[in-house]
Chains A and B, each alone.
Chain A
Amino acid sequence: MSAVVEAVALGRWYGQVVGLNELTVRMEPGITGLLGPNGAGKSTFLGLIAGELKPSRGTIRVLGEDPFANGLLFRRVGYCPQRDAVYGRMSGREMVRFLLRLGGYGRREADARARRALERVALGEDMERRTAGYSKGMRQRVKIAQAIAHDPELLVLDEPLGGLDPVGRRDVIRLLAELAAAGTSVLVSSHVLHEIEALTAEILLVHRGRLLAQGTIADVRELLRQHPRRVEIVARDARRLARALLDAEEVIAVRLLDDGTRLSLETRDVARFHRRLTEIAAGGGFGVQGLESVDASLEAVFDYLVA
């Protein structure tokens, strides 16, 4: 099967700042999630794929072609940038139609496609309003509409779910699934794991400009499982609880925090640790008042992976 995107030793710098470094990756057709914390290099990678940016080194091929300023390729690619930018004086329909006209469509065809795309992103009723008056979620939908309106082979979406309410997210996830089922390859970025999980199992993990992992979410979870996680517990008798937890094999380290009512501990298996804590707390009268995985954020997970 031919690759949709193929990057070899791809690098991109902004002066002294590394945006992307030595990225070698091959993306097959279907939906692929590009996952990474803010500043990981996701937008840089997507900008390179969309032909907006030039690589500082290495090569990138999109649908077999060099993407930078490649007009022919742009007919086959739809790009929704992360930036919250619309033509405020135009209505949603005018904006999508204008961009379709630049894509080579005649007036009628562009208008029909614009209407269809806006209806697909649930903006049918508001398409005649000026985009300046749109909510952030509506602007996001217009951006998605302009990316899908010309039925591209590859759809590149940078944080498309940002600014959308839960219903909007569900609609967009459903739309992307429909497009993928119809044969469109979709590359979608996010810094929120569960958003990507709702879309696809195939992910690329990037962090600090490097590719950390590529594969299914299950593969990555397995990778994460092997790394210690930090949990904080608030308990009335935290000192005695700390002693009890030290005997548990799931616990690697325990530290009593300054005020004497909080513990910080590391575990390799959070789920097993939770079960064990329930057993210990039930029999000991430690007065456990709260528990928090302080590093469950994606940034912390990535920090583990790169440590």
Chain B
Amino acid sequence: MRFLLAVGILFRAHLGKTVLSVRTLICLGLAAMPVAAALLFVWAWDGRHEPPALELAWILHVQTIVPLIALVLGSAAVAEEVEGRTISYLITRPIPRAAILVGRWLALVLVVTLLLAASAWAVFAIFDRIVPAGAARQPAEVRERLVRVIVLGGVVYSAVFAAAGAFLKRPIIVGLGYTFAVEGFLANLPGGNQSLTIQYYLKSCLLAGDPELSRRLMSAREAIDLVSPGEGLRTILGIVLAALVLGAVAITRREYVLPA
């Protein structure tokens, strides 16, 4: 009860702070990138090919912007309090320390998911304007599934990076390394190595059971066996939970030695 109350107070206090932060401004810029790319495409479109709305959302959102936004905001969950040296006030209050991580993460995950969802819908809306009336658009179900995966990616990556922020002094550097070096490397190894990445489970949620979409979004080289969407979702939720538990243990045990 004490934990939930503290989470609620921290969530409310930090939601406004997160919305108005420089990090959110940076993320707004990142979220605008796919929108700018869509606008650029529309401007240069020759009208002969189908607009690549899904490809753009898949490559720019799921594989690039989602981890980046989640990293910039997620790593701030604890690190921002440490950098601002205000964590002293929180860790000397009669609350479970884990509430600091969870309350702050909930505030920022709300911002992450809203930014990502808005960015994805904006991309679809822009492409809709150039598809001739009566021509086939991507089914709404596919779009919704893609937006769900984007939001899910924001949730899982932000949880992982929030936990990393409770462990590490420089979570952004480590997070960038993880996202683009470790995950990028594993994703290009043959065999079942991709199953060690978050991207694999996001792919599973989106593509498993939809061979047509798989062919469209994945090259032959990338084609691998995916788990079912249900299993992908369960694994992702498991990763979120594990990250938050590990982060909670870290913040509970760790000392924060701050400069004067």
A, B from the same assembly = yes
Q: Which residue numbers of A lie inside 8 Å of B, CB to CB?
A: 14, 43, 50-54, 69, 71-72, 74-75, 77, 79, 81-87, 89-90, 98-99, 101-104, 146
Quote the shortest CB–CB distance from A46 to chain B (angstroms).
11
The 8 A CB mask of B75-91 against A (1 = contact, 0 = none) is: 00000000011101111
**Are B86 and A86 neighbours in the complex by a CB distance under 8 Å?**
yes
Considering the complex, give the chain A residue whose CB is closest to the CB of B97: A69
Residues from chain B with a CB closer than 8 A to the CB of A99 are 89, 93
Residue pairs across A and B with Cβ atoms less than 8 A apart, 5 shown, are A77-B92, A81-B88, A81-B258, A102-B6, A102-B93
The count of chain B contact residues (Cβ–Cβ below 8 Å) is: 28
A79 to B84, alpha carbons, bound, how many Å?
17
8 closest Cβ contacts across the A-B interface? A85-B85, A71-B94, A102-B93, A74-B94, A83-B85, A81-B88, A101-B9, A75-B94
**Contact indicator A89/B9 (Cβ below 8 Å):** no
Question: In the complex where A86-B86, A87-B17 touch, is A69 in contact with B258 (Cβ < 8 A)?
Answer: no
Query: Which of B6, B92, B97 has the most C-beta atoms of chain A within 10 angstroms of its own C-beta?
Result: B92
In the complex, what residue of chain A is closest to B86 when comparing beta carbons?
A85
**Contact A53 B255, beta carbon cutoff 8 Å:** yes
Considering the chains assembled together, what is the distance between the CA atoms of A85 and B83 in angstroms?
10
Residue B60 CB within 8 A of the other chain: no
B257 lies within 8 A of A51 (CB): no
| Set of chain A residues within 8 Å of B40, measured between Cβ atoms | none
Is B17 a contact of A52 with CB atoms below 8 Å? Answer: no
**A85-B84 in contact given A102-B6, A102-B9, A102-B90 (Cβ < 8 Å):** yes
Contact B88 A85 (CB under 8 A): yes
Closest Cβ of chain B: how far from A157's Cβ, in Å? 13
Interface residues of B in 78-129 (CB under 8 A from A): 84-86, 88-97
| Minimum Cβ distance to chain B for residue A133 (Å) | 15
For residue B213, give the distance in angstroms from its CB to the closest CB of chain A.
Answer: 43
| Distance between B218 CB and nearest chain A CB, rounded to angstroms | 44
- The contact string, 1 if C-beta is below 8 Å from chain A, for chain B 15-36, is 0110010000000000000000
Partner of A43, one of B91, B94, B260: B260
